Amino acid sequence: MSVYRDKRSPYYQYDFQHQGHRFHGSTKCTTRRDAERFEAAELEKAKALVKATRRSKASLAIDDVADRLWNDSAQYDSEPKATETNLARLIEYFGKAKPLTEIDHKAAKELVAWRRGQRVSRRGKRTKEEEQALPLISNATVNRSATKVLQRLFTFARSEGAVFDSEPKWEDLLLSEPLERVRELKIEEANAFDSVMRVDYAPFFDFVRASGMRLNECVTLRWSEVDFGARQIVRTGKGDQRVVFPITPAVREILFPLQGQHPEFVFTYVAVYGNKRLGRVRGQRYPLTYAGAKTAWQRLRTISGVADFRFHDFRHDFGTKLLRDSGNLKLVQKALNHRDIKSTLRYAHVLDEDVAVAVERLAESRKKSRSKLRDAS
């Protein structure tokens, strides 16, 4: 190992080999002592990289790991575009050549701080003042789009055989998230939606309310996943989990008339305007898209005048009403495809009414017993 000064640069350079691998570059230091300390630190990084790479037998550069992860499984996520965007963000932040072995807890913590300082994106042009007025992204978004994505890269590299001596402490990096609220749809709100609903979108929103499925699961529903004979809908949901939903008489009434509208997708809409660029013909039916469904929902919510109700609240409404009707948390967990019962416990408040009734029933029973005793005396 040695450092030297290049006449063409004011900085010392380093150049050494470790187990057949060459490492060289600028120290960005102007004194030999600082340059030697820098080189010693680079040697430790080189040792960790060579050790991890030999075990995995593949490059541990973040760009290469992300590419292998994408080809292996990430491209099949329920929302692959979001995954692709999140991976690209990490690669741009760290740099394509950054080895995972050099991303320790401190580096990951700096990533979280950087992401935490970003603001919610909105479509359309805005001035700097308008951009600054946008709210910061939520803790949940930071966790989902940065920390957990980076953790997934490490997990994938470990599955290939890589060993990390200084992997970030993931639990310490995750930001606290507020408990998700549970919002029910009131009868008058449901009527308000129905009164302004477009006819071609009605089956989609009826199905959302009747199934409790997530937006993406409903939008991309295919006929190949609908089995009227077995009275089941079987498809892949969030986290690549197998989702099985029963085709009840109410669900059958929604879906059965839609056959023949499109050969592949269940839910469609009628184009109100023609669009040559997109190949849309006015009056023709086309498969409903994720973006199209969100736009239709925003328009529906605005026209109906229903406030403080998000699309995801349809799922909360379904879970709450199902628990109130059944009183069975395990059943609701299965219906909503929750991996952890903790996610289902957010609906447990609806059982408070049952508890109150039972307590009152017990009090009345004791009151009657005491009354009988007094009469007997």
Tens digits of per-residue pLDDT, 60-77?
999 999 999 998 888 887
CA angle 178, 182, 188 (to 5 degrees): 145
Dump pLDDT digits (tens) for 23-60: 888 888 989 889 989 988 888 888 877 777 666 568 89
Question: What gap in Å lies between CA 346 and CA 203, rounded to an integer?
Answer: 28
Q: What is the CA radius of gyration of the chain?
A: 29
Cα–Cα distance for residue pair 304/299, rounded to 1 Å = 8
User: Average pLDDT of 171-176?
Assistant: 94
Mean pLDDT of 360-376: 67
Contact 336, 213 (CB under 8 A): no
360 confidence band (pLDDT: 50, 70, 90) = low
Mean pLDDT, rounded, for 217-237: 91
Nearest to 342 by CA among 213, 175, 208, 180: 180
Tell me the C-alpha distance between 190 and 196, whole Å: 10
pLDDT attached to residue 66: 95
Q: What is the pLDDT of residue 278?
A: 81
> What is the identity of the amino acid at 91?
I
Query: 208-225: string of b/e by CB count within 10 Å (b at 16+)?
Result: bbbbbbbbebbbbbebeb
Cβ atoms of 284 and 210 within 8 Å: the answer is no
Rounded to an integer, the average pLDDT of 15-20 is 78
Residues 218, 228: Cα–Cα separation, whole Å: 17
Is the model more confident about 283 or about 123? 283
Domains along the chain with CATH numbers: 3-56 (no CATH), 62-173 (no CATH), 187-308 (1.10.443.10)
Complete DSSP assignment for 173-213: HSPP-PPPP--PPPHHHHHHHHHH--TTTHHHHHHHHHH--
Whether the per-residue pLDDT at 288 is higher than 90: the answer is yes
Please determine, for residue 9, whether its predicted confidence score (pLDDT) is greater than 60: yes
pLDDT average, residue stretch 276-282: 87
CA angle (185, 186, 188) in 5-degree steps: 130
Identify the pLDDT of residue 204: 97
